[in-house]
Amino acid sequence: MSFQFATRTKGLRSSAIRDLLKVTEMPNMLSLAGGLPTPDSFPLPDLRREADRLLGEFGPRVVQYSATDGMVELRQWLSQHYTVELQRPVAIDGEIVVTHGSQQALDLLAKILVDPGDVVVSESPAYLGAVQAFELFEPRFEVIPGDEHGMKVELLAEQLAAGLRPKLVYVVPNFHNPSGATLSLERRQLLARLADEYELLIVEDDPYGAIRFAGAELPPVAAFTTRVVHLSTFSKVVAPGFRVGWMIGPPEVMAMVARAKQAADLHTATFPQLLLANIVSQPGWLDAQKARIVPMYRERYHALSTALHHIVGDRIRFHHPEGGMFLWTHVDGVADTKQLLTHAVEHGVAFVPGSAFTIDQTPDSKARLSYSALSPEQLGEAVARLARGLAAYDAAR
């Protein structure tokens, strides 16, 4: 049957990662492909206890319709948290919108900001979900390359001086997905200065900041300018299935976001918001949760990087991330890692080829290896399989 879709759906790509999940469901497959949090990190006993208590004590309110910008209990906690983090008061009303994950925040921002042909500045590689969200509104992507210290903001400065006028600049400041890079303090400050000078809007997407296992914490870009919409989420630090994230931004932008959100879903689900607000507002709870889960990621990261070093050697190179879930690797002698993937899958291991994260999807020698969802032992075995896949790839050349 044929149907007439809107023109804007033409460029809409399917997520290579979601497509890959089909492969990873094959029996005995070890997947370095997904970026799912380790299930051991979910605080199930606390969630269960609090869910019972909420249903008992609050009754119908926890399953009723609620405000578009979010439950007041959660906005109260966010306001306190960000007043400390940004070193300035963040209002409960007007500066915060709770969203169905950060993914919805990206979609809503694209909806209210991007007209066809508008310039969206992004790094490449980029988080695929953001590219998908923006792409539907037909922007022109202007790619600013990055390195292990994040987007080369100094190149953006040159482009702005030469006349580039983006509608928004998209950055992932901590442990970027997929590059693992952390935007340096100098670049954060420069980006903020550029935002003020050129009246830009920065979209700072920070789902991974809480999962830091090395190095010192850095202030968000939003601490240096108010021309930022800062996104974050409970997905990585508590659990992704609740779909609770948030955005903190200028009241003018948040008011428009709230209107778009009314059209999208009226409000974020009431029950998970209250559940999470009640849990994270318990004194010390979030720090204890981080102290429990960060070592899990540190251990897995060490297991994967050490196994690569011992089993594969210099052929797979990468910068060492200071947190998050990803190793962004360069595989010497492999021009298109999609072809390596075919051999890897035959040997029982999957990863995401780098081209999935580039805006133009050109083949490259990069691969994203996620250490988040396998145990240290499984990671060792996954690398042994990858080495066999690599040998099979070489033999087939």
Ligand X SMILES: Cc1ncc(COP(=O)(O)O)c(C=O)c1O
Please enumerate in sequence order all residues whose Cβ is within 8 A of that of 208, keeping only pairs 6 or more positions apart, or say none: 172, 174, 175, 177, 236, 323, 324, 325
239 versus 334: smaller Cβ distance to ligand X: 239
Nearer to ligand X, 21 or 157 (CB): 21
Distance of closest approach, residue 205 Cβ to ligand X, in angstroms: 5
Measured from the CB of residue 172, what is the shortest distance to ligand X in angstroms?
5
Binding site for ligand X (CB under 6 A): 35, 101-103, 127, 129, 172, 177, 205, 207, 233, 235, 240, 245
Q: Please give the Cα distance from 130 to 134 (Å, whole number).
A: 6
- Residue 52 β-bridge partners: none
Closest separation in Å from C-beta 98 to ligand X: 11
Nearer to ligand X, 211 or 312 (CB): 211
Residue 326 or residue 393: which is nearer to ligand X going by CB? Answer: 326
| Amino acid identity at 316 | I
Q: How far is the CB of 371 from ligand X (least distance, A)?
A: 14
- For residue 232, the minimal CB distance to ligand X (Å) is 8
DSSP string, 114-155: PPTT-EEEE-SS--HHHHHHHHTT--EEEE--EETTEE-HHH
Query: Which pairs with CB-CB distance under 8 Å and at least 24 residues apart come from 221-225?
Result: 221/171, 221/173, 221/183, 221/188, 221/191, 221/192, 221/195, 222/86, 222/248, 223/85, 223/86, 223/87, 224/188, 224/189, 224/191, 224/192, 224/193, 225/192, 225/193, 225/195, 225/196
DSSP for 239-287 reads -GGG--EEEE--HHHHHHHHHHHHHHHSSS-HHHHHHHHHHHTSTTHHH
Return d(Cα 382, Cα 161) in angstroms, integer: 47
Q: Using CA atoms, how far apart are residues 175 and 160, in angstroms rounded to an integer? A: 26
Q: Output the CA torsion sign for 299, 324, 18, 245.
A: positive
Q: How far is the CB of 325 from ligand X (least distance, A)?
A: 8
The nearest distance, CB 261 to ligand X, in angstroms, is 14
Least Cβ distance, residue 60 to ligand X (angstroms): 28
Residue number closest to ligand X, CB atom: 101
Nearer to ligand X (CB atom), residue 176 or residue 343: 176
From the CB of 222, what's the least distance to ligand X, in Å?
15
In single-letter form, the type of residue at position 11 comes to: G
Task: Output 78 or 387, the one with its CB closest to ligand X.
Answer: 78
Residue closer to ligand X by CB (options 95, 206) is 206
Angle formed by the axes of helices 285-307 and 270-280, nearest 10°: 90
Q: How many CB atoms lie within 10 A of CB 277?
A: 22
Cα 357 → chain centroid: 12
Contact 170, 142 (CB under 8 A): no
Judged by beta carbon, residue 207 or residue 353, the one nearer ligand X is 207
C-beta of 145 vs 333, nearer to ligand X: 145
Give least dist CB 252 to ligand X, A.
Answer: 23
Tell me the three state secondary structure of residue 42: coil
Complex with ligand X: residue 172 or 312, whichever CB lies closer: 172
Under a CB-based contact definition with an 8 Å cutoff, are residues 35 and 370 in contact? yes
DSSP state of 308: I
Backbone angles phi, psi at 300, to 5 degrees: -70, -40
Output the smallest distance, CB 74 to ligand X, in A: 14
